[in-house]
A and B are shown apart, each in its own frame.
Chain A
Amino acid sequence: DQQVKQNSPSLSVQEGRISILNCDYTNSMFDYFLWYKKYPAEGPTFLISISSIKDKNEDGRFTVFLNKSAKHLSLHIVPSQPGDSAVYFCAASIGAGSYQLTFGKGTKLSVIP
């Protein structure tokens, strides 16, 4: 039973436009969420996180929105750049200090020049 779902395996966006990556979760105990980016043949790298006490967190071109009632979060990238082409993983945990993260299957973003 998947507790963290990324229902879009892939997404293509024109350079300069907005990329929106979505993530849904089923476990209402999750209260800390992270996004990781992964390039081929490399390990995932941390991008941005959000605690359930917030509904938005921003870091440069990256913004994560959390809708707790819908158990949904999204990552917005504005403007999208070709270097953003990667696989994006959503992850969730119970508590920011939890040792266990539950990952989604990932969404492959392609930014077209």
Chain B
Amino acid sequence: NAGVTQTPKFQVLKTGQSMTLQCAQDMNHNSMYWYRQDPGMGLRLIYYSASEGTTDKGEVPNGYNVSRLNKREFSLRLESAAPSQTSVYFCASRQGVGGNTIYFGEGSWLTVV
């Protein structure tokens, strides 16, 4: 049972480069999320998708774009990476109505130099 799968696990980017973090869940969940975690900080919501076909900004959306490709997949794109985007990124999913628990992937470590 894979749950929430993120790729890549590690990535080093140069300032100004672009990249996409991929996420897929196999739990047939309606809602999906992207969080970032910085040292000494809690998890902060970047974007979420309440259901297939919808996306909404979270607490820290600047510098990011997302795509809910289908019910399973939710990608996060950095168009022009900045050192401030060095962080650990977590994808998550939740069943939606009637399901309160958010399930997280293992994280993607991104360094922008």
Contacts and interface: CB of A to CB of B under 8 A. Distances in A.
Contacts, number: 55
28 contacts: A6-B42, A9-B40, A34-B100, A36-B104, A41-B106, A41-B107, A42-B106, A43-B90, A43-B105, A43-B106, A43-B107, A44-B90, A45-B104, A46-B101, A46-B103, A49-B100, A89-B42, A89-B43, A97-B98, A97-B100, A99-B50, A100-B45, A100-B48, A102-B42, A103-B44, A105-B40, A105-B41, A106-B42
Highest count of chain A CB atoms <10 Å: which of B31, B58, B101, B102:
B102
B68 to A, nearest CB: 13
A103 B42 contact: yes
Contacts of B42: 4, 6, 89, 91, 102-106
Interface size class of A (residues with CB under 8 A): 20 to 34
A30 interface: no
Interface of A: 4, 6, 9, 32, 34, 36, 41-46, 49, 89, 91, 96-97, 99-106
Given A42-B107, A99-B48, 10 more contacts: A34-B101, A41-B107, A42-B106, A43-B4, A43-B92, A49-B100, A100-B58, A100-B59, A101-B45, A103-B42
Nearest to B104: A43
Contacts of A105: 40-42
The residue in A6, A45, A97, A101 that gathers the most chain B C-beta atoms within 10 A of its C-beta is A101
Nearest to B3: A43
A99 B74 CA distance: 15
Given A97-B97, A99-B50, A99-B56, A44 B45 contact: no
Interface string B17-46: 000000000000001010000001111110
Interface string B66-93: 0000000000000000000000001010
